[in-house]
Structures are given as C-alpha cells and as structure tokens.
Amino acid sequence: QVQLVESGGGLVQPGGSLRLSCAASGNIFSLYAMGWYRQAPGKQRELVAVITNTGYTHYGDFVKGRFTISRDNAKILVHLQMNSLKPEDTAVYYCNFKRGILDVWGQGTQVTVSS
C-alpha cells in the first residue's frame, strides 16, 4: 500500500505563486512516477506535471514554463512550484503515484486564483 499526504494550496491573487507538496509512504520501492493532476468544476481531470524517480519530467501544455515539478527521492517527496498563476488555474489539485498497475490518488487540495 502507498499513502499520499498533500500540503499547500489555498487562495492567491492572479500573478501570484503557490507551492504544493506531496509525500508518499508505504511500499514505494523504485521505478515510480509521481505528479499532479487538476480538475476544475465541469471539466475533466488533466495532467499538470509528472516526475519519475529518475528525474524525467512532463508537463501539461497549458503550463508553458510557469510551473516546476521537483522531487526529493530520499523522502519520496514531490513539490510543484506554481508561478504566474491565472484564474483559469483554479481547480482541485490531486497528487498521484504510479508504479506498474498501482495507481494511488491523494484527496486533493483546492487552489483558487482570484482577486
């Protein structure tokens, strides 16, 4: 079993920054990918960013250099630094852990970008 604990999120003004963190614990082993997805009301869940234990990263098209995902392998901790936030970034952000057929989701954290 793998457990995910998310932190960060909240309310920020347009142009501001937020940092999300996700810590994984349990039977992690190796060869995994962790990342963040988001879901806005009435929309499908979409990929924000993912990083593997080897450091490979991939971002959603909408990110356009505004977000950076990083990891601490020793602590199995992933951070998502979000800069230049826009109102359309408002959504519930979910941490995700994948290893083979194992697919674990966090409970989600709300990010609201509004003046």
Q: Which two tokens stand for residue 11?
A: 């309310």
| Whole-angstrom distance, CA of residue 21 vs CA of residue 80 | 6
Name the amino acid, one letter, at 112: T
Complete edge-to-edge strand list for the sheet that includes strand 18-26? 2-7, 18-26, 77-82, 67-72
Band of pLDDT at residue 80, cut at 50, 70 and 90: very high
- Residue 11 pLDDT > 80, yes or no? yes
More confident residue, 53 or 8: 8
